[in-house]
Chains A and B, each alone.
Chain A
Amino acid sequence: MSSETGKILTTDGIPLEESLKQAEKKNKIKAFLLVAPLLLFLIITYMIPIGDMFSRSIDDKMVTNMLPKTYKAMETWDGKELPPEEVFEAFYLDYKILVKNKTAGKLQTQLNYEKNGFKSVLKKLARKQKKFEEGNYKEQIMKVHKRWRNVEYWRAIKRRAPSYTYSKYLKGVDMYSNEDGKIVQVSEDRRIHRILWIRTVEVAFFVTLFCFLMAYPIAHLLATLPMKYSNLLMICVLLPFWTSLLVRTASWMILLQQQGIVNDFFVWTGLVADDNRPEMMYNKTGTYVAMTQILLPFMVLPLYSVMKTISPSLMRAGKSLGATPAVAFFKVYFPLTIPGIGAGCLLVFILAIGYYITPALVGGASGTLISNQIAYHMKSTLDWSFASAMGLMLLTGVLAIYWIYNKLVGVDNIKLG
């Protein structure tokens, strides 16, 4: 066995250590090759597009590309006084091309975002510049409108020089950077996004809380009942879990409508008058009720799988040592279920914070969440860069929650039934 150098050799005459290393390496490559197809597929179709969302959200090349000569000429301009003749000439040439190609409208809109009143000035210039003579463009442009003599307008153009911007992210939290480059809030009546963010977190939080309060007793019952009964009751949890989300939302739409069964019941019990049926759908109530029922199984299943492993003799031991049932529950049973509570709450909260379908159908105007706003910008306004920016803000939030959870409890506790 042993060679002269004292190393153990295999039958091929290679040192055993090396042979083992080679085998290990081979196994490593084998294992990696099995994972590689899915990994590559996900990286190409999923990870890179999410990265693409980021570059879209900060992309601001539109104006930069429309005024190439102007921005080149502006490089040496310090922005304190009116720009020199070259800038005026470059702007005249750039703008002429835009007018000729009929794309000047986009520039007008974009620059109007930057400085109010820019649109009319640019429109007037488009009409007048046809009669421009060669040379001394500064004089000629300034004659068209007195605002061209105001340095503010030229600074507004210069502000759009960088091809990247974070303005979409500011817009997502109802802020913008004003003429002096300071970040300020938009006027009070236009702050819509912050309300949506707060509402999204609020709905997700309360839905998680309701789910927890409802899931805990039934998960406990399922875990302690004899198999015969618990399997039967488990169907009540699993059937909604496997049923289409749209079917469940539809049934809530039927139940909660003004002539619906829930309202009928309230009238029958005399809680509300027949001619005064409350509106339970198309508002936050509808969102809460429907989302709680839809997400409840996601709380029950992790709780159940943890509670199932807790031996009933622990509670008995606690009681036999003199604890009242309540004390035994809070000192013995409850702490053991914390991993399940964590997993369930994380799952429900993350699902709820990105919920789209149910709020869109039963939420009405006061029950829609941030996802609905993202979809709105994707499908209706076509402001894809803003939708991307808001999507990434939401994603950052979700990943942060996930990271904190992983630090506190550990992700491995998540199980699927």
Chain B
Amino acid sequence: MALPKYTEPHYRIWHYFYLLICGCVFFFLIAPLFVIFPLSFNAEEFLVFSDGMKRLDPDAFSLRWYKDMIYGTKNPWGLAARNSFIIAIFATLGSIILGTLAALGLSSRHMPYKGLIMAILISPMIVPLIISGVAIFFFMAKVGLAATHLGIILAHIILGTPFVVITVTATLSGFDHSITRAASSLGSSPYNTFMKITLPLILPGVISGGLFAFVTSFDEVVVVLFLAGLDNTTIPIQMWTGLREQLSPTILAVATCLIILSVLILLTAELLRRRSERLRGINR
């Protein structure tokens, strides 16, 4: 955004001031994440940069907290990671299936009471998590699913479906319905039409909704705090307990792994978004 040559000096100053502000805000957004990396390689137990680290002394760095994360006897990170992945994967699948079906129905112009139903379907996103947590806990306790994997998976499906509904409905908004009619007029069964025509076209929306659902489940702690027993502990629960009791560098090692995971998810989401924009561009 280069300034034209004829810009007056005080606008020039104002422009650089504006860029400076933007730089500060970007720094504020991203810098906190980068504190975690170096400290997770700290050879000492304290959460501050030691003198050795400031001198970049190789002895001041170590992998001991990563070893502790994997082999440490006190740290149930292994169990937590397994639980987190199982719960998140099933919750994502459930959200994708229920959410995509609902989005297909909602995008039909024959759908009655569209506004009301949409409001109900995305309500778990609007209602504060703590309230959702209390309500879901009462339900799960009543049907005996508290402190079970199934209970947590169902809870995360509730929280994840709104994202799928929103992203898939958005993808379908640019969808040309005449091509599915063309397919059926050529003798394709509805199932076949869906699998061969509709699904490939809405897939980017489905997957990016699924990513939202996955992250929501993988990162969710408020509802799990109410629901989880000792066997259902997840990574967020372990981090929560760790942060409340004592901030140990092992948590930073876990946090580093989580940041790497979110970088991967971000890259996937970006690729999908661009692909989806391309596909929708063709339809227009």
Mark A residues whose CB is within 8 Å of B. Answer: 24, 27-28, 30-39, 41-50, 52-53, 56, 214-215, 217-218, 221, 224-226, 233, 235-240, 242-255, 257, 259-261, 293, 296-297, 325, 350, 353-354, 356-357, 360-361, 371, 374-375, 378-379, 384, 387-388, 391-392, 394-395, 398-399, 402, 415-417
Contact = CB atoms under 8 A, between A and B. Distances in A.
Nearest to B130: A371
Contact of A217 (B18, B39, B121, B252): B18
Interface string B67-104: 00000000000000000000000000000001101101
Interface in B97-131: 98-99, 101-102, 104-106, 108, 110-112, 117, 120-121, 123-124, 126-131
A238 B135 contact: no
B16 interface: no
B29 A357 contact: no
Task: Assign chain B's interface to a size class.
Answer: 35 or more
A45 B158 contact: yes
A104 to B, nearest CB: 27
Given A45-B136, A217-B18, A254 B219 contact: no
A244 B270 CA distance: 18
B154 interface: yes
Interface in B131-175: 131-132, 134-139, 142, 154-155, 157-158, 161, 163, 165-167, 170
B132 A237 contact: no
Contact of A31 (B108, B136, B157, B212): B108
B123 to A, nearest CB: 7
Contacts of A44: 139
A397 to B, nearest CB: 9
Nearest 9 Cβ contacts at the A-B interface: A354-B128, A34-B105, A35-B105, A31-B108, A49-B135, A27-B110, A49-B139, A38-B102, A251-B32
Given A28-B110, A242-B262, A391-B134, 10 more contacts: A38-B101, A46-B136, A49-B136, A52-B135, A226-B1, A240-B30, A255-B35, A261-B49, A350-B126, A357-B240
Contacts of B5: none
Nearest to A235: B266
Contacts of A296: 25, 28-29
Contacts of B199: none
A259 B22 contact: no
B69 to A, nearest CB: 14
Most buried by B among A32, A224, A353: A32
Contacts of B137: 378
B97 to A, nearest CB: 8
A41 to B, nearest CB: 6
Interface of B: 1, 11, 18-19, 21-22, 25-26, 28-30, 32-33, 35-36, 39, 47-49, 98-99, 101-102, 104-106, 108, 110-112, 117, 120-121, 123-124, 126-132, 134-139, 142, 154-155, 157-158, 161, 163, 165-167, 170, 212, 215, 218-219, 221-222, 225-226, 236, 239-240, 243-244, 247, 251-252, 255, 258-259, 262-263, 265-266, 269-270, 273
Contacts of A56: 138
Contact of B221 (A254, A293, A357, A398): A357
Contact of B123 (A32, A46, A226, A247): A46
A249 B255 CA distance: 11
B87 to A, nearest CB: 15
B251 A250 contact: yes
A249 B243 contact: yes
Contacts of A242: 215, 262, 265-266, 269
A254 B249 CA distance: 10
Most buried by B among A221, A225, A387: A221
B262 A28 contact: no
A253 B248 CA distance: 12
B101 A37 contact: yes
Contacts of B226: 378-379
B257 to A, nearest CB: 10
A374 B35 CA distance: 33
A46 B128 contact: no
Most buried by B among A38, A49, A250: A38
Contacts of A375: 130, 222, 225
